[in-house]
Structure 1
Amino acid sequence: MLQIRPQSNESATVEAPSASSLLAGDNRDTEVGRVYSQIFDAVMDRRLLPGAKLTESTLCSVFSCSRATVRAALSALAHDKIVLLEANRGAFVWQPSEKETRDVFELRRDIESLILTRLSAMPDLEARLEALYAMVATEREAYELGDRISWIRLSNAFHVELARCIGNDELTALMHTLCARTTLIIAFHDSPGEKACSFYEHQEILQQLSQGNLGEAIRAMLHHLSDCEHRMNESRNERPSNPWLAFSVKR
């Protein structure tokens, strides 16, 4: 596996879509949607880590909103398995079990193989993939600049946008959910980011698909997902994030 150490440059950034902006039927213009989206993005950007406690009073202060709004947003996040609501304890960012981790990666292998198969049969494949090639180039730029948040966002967005190319909204929504849960799984295992050269793997998948090599494209995707799953080490970050700090980074 090729390893490239990103340059340290905190001031350099690239344009990357927030995870919540990829949601179908984005409702960030509502109060509940606004709170949902900002918590969701903080989790996806790994500013809020698995196990972090989400205190209602703190979130009300952060978002200048009512407890009813916070509770509705947390309930929606719990429905999407981003947050866990525990009786008499409160809300916590979801932490995966070993079985949930295996199940998520198994489903991703099946779904993403299906996506590639469907795409390979489309007569206008090159036109559909054009934006993805540009996304991979931006992903590489973010990585080399050391723009960690943009790189994480683009790494996930690649898979969501690959599904969106098919034109099936339900499949795209499923892929969005699976990518979100994968991000939490990786954060839970504290995977070292400098080893995840995903842009090379993403580009290989696109090239094989463009050349009509469906079998090789699927093999590249399965290798990519398997590599991601096995890269997670045994250490787990047990330090829950402070919600005040999580929302201090505006992207």
Structure 2
Amino acid sequence: MLYLDERQDRVADSAAPRASSLLEGSAPGSDVDRIYAEIFDAVMDRRLLPGAKLTESALCQIFDCSRATVRGALAQLAYDKLVVQLPNRGAFVWQPGAKETQDVFDARRALECLLIDKLVALDDLPQRLAPLREMVEQERRAFEQGDRISWLRLSNAFHVKMASLAGNDVLTEMMHGLCSRTTLIIAFYDTPSSSTCSYVEHEQILDLLAQRNAEGAKQAMAHHLQDCEHRMHEPTTFQADPWAAFSIKR
């Protein structure tokens, strides 16, 4: 059985959307989907960090399910590049290398610029931006209140929700995947306490979009992503324990 611990940054009480909920049709439809979503969210919330070993027997006990179910979820996470499965060693949360880090940020920059061009061409853009402004306000409140989990979730959700405004499901799915990998990169190289106030930059991007200033929005987005890149130094050290990530009482 899974027990939630209040010390885990109020995960149970967080009003922010879980990262696994950001795609259409993402509601778990099977035990494999459920386990996938739980592990995915633990990774995105930085409760389960890069390099953590995902032991099948521990996960079976955590989620009260069969090894076949756990293996199915891990295979799906590996397909999405969030887990690596090594012969005779098991499954581990993906750890980014220098080239992969650069590739992910390059892809983010290109995709964000494409989406900005699509957004400024929308006739009803100001109305579409309204929910994002509320999300940024929630992000600000979470940051100021020290609600780390909600802040991390909302900071990530901003970019996925912005992509969804363009109405292209494939681009939204691509952004979701890139944001997920960016989160892992930041978790590996950075610590949340050193992060800047992302909501300020998000607000600036929304203001420029509302003005249909595509070039200004692109520059603000580039600065936002560059800010993240400049914080990448030595990998963070941590204790990689799936039991702790899911707040299990043994």
For normalisation by structure 1, the TM-score amounts to: 0.92
1:122-166 Cα shifts (integer Å, max 9, x gaps): 000011111000000000000000000000000000000000001
Give the match for residue 15 of structure 2. Answer: 15
Cα offset, 1:214, TM superposition: 1.2
Aligned residue for 1:84, secondary structure, equals strand
What letter is aligned with 1:159?
H
Alignment partner of 1:238 is 2:237: yes
Contact 1:48 1:240 in 2 (8 A): no
Contact 2:83–2:94 (8 Å) recurs in 1 = yes
RMSD after superposition? 1.5
Residues 104-123 of structure 1 show CA distances to partners (whole Å, capped at 9, x for unaligned) of 00000000011011000000
For 1:34-45, list aligned pairs within 5 A. 34-45=34-45
Does 1:219 find its partner at 2:219?
A: yes
CA distance in 2, matches of 1:232, 1:211: 32
Q: Confirm or deny: 8 A CA contact 1:95 1:188 kept in the other structure.
A: yes
- Alpha-carbon shift at residue 190 of structure 1 (Å): 2.6
Partner deviation per Cα, 1:32-55 (whole Å, 9 max, x = no partner): 000000000000000000000000
Gaps in structure 2 of 5+ consecutive residues: 1-8
**Aligned-partner residue type, residue 185 of structure 2:** I
Q: Does the 8 A contact of 2:139 with 2:151 survive in 1?
A: yes
- Number of aligned residue pairs: 239
Write the distance in 2 (CA, Å) between the matches of 1:184 and 1:91: 16
Q: Does the 8 A contact of 2:115 with 2:166 survive in 1?
A: yes
The answer (yes or no) to whether the contact 1:14–1:141 under 8 Å persists in 2 is no
Please report how far the alpha carbon of residue 11 of structure 1 lies from its aligned counterpart in structure 2 after TM superposition. Answer: 6.5
> What is the SS of the residue equivalent to 1:91?
strand
What runs of 5+ residues in structure 1 fail to find an aligned partner?
1-9
Return the alpha-carbon distance in structure 2 between the equivalents of residues 139 and 63 of structure 1: 30
Question: The residue matched to 2:137 in structure 1 has which SS?
Answer: helix
1:1-251 alignment runs, 5 A limit: 15-234=15-234, 236-248=235-247
Q: Give the Å deviation of 1:192.
A: 4.1
Paired residues of 2:60 and 2:67 also in contact (CA < 8 A): yes
Q: Secondary structure at the match of 1:237?
A: coil
Q: Is the 8 A contact 2:10 2:149 kept in 1?
A: no
> C-alpha separation between the residues in 2 aligned to 1:214 and 1:134?
22
SS at structure 1 position matched to 2:91: strand
Counterpart contact for 2:83–2:91, Cα < 8 Å: yes
Structure 1 residues 13-34: Cα deviation after superposition (integer angstroms, max 9, x where no partner): 6520000011332141310000
Aligned-residue offset at 1:196: 1.7
Query: Who is 1:6 aligned against?
Result: none
Separation (CA, whole Å) in 1 of partners of 2:195 and 2:241? 27
Measure how far apart 1:193 and its partner are: 3.0
77-86 or 189-198, which deviates more: 189-198
Question: Aligned in 2, Cα 1:68/1:11: closer, same or farther, shift over 3 Å?
Answer: closer
Q: Distance in 2 between matches of 1:140 and 1:241?
A: 30
Instruction: Note the C-alpha offset of 1:233.
Output: 2.3
Whole-Å separation in 1 of the counterparts to 2:171 and 2:151:
24
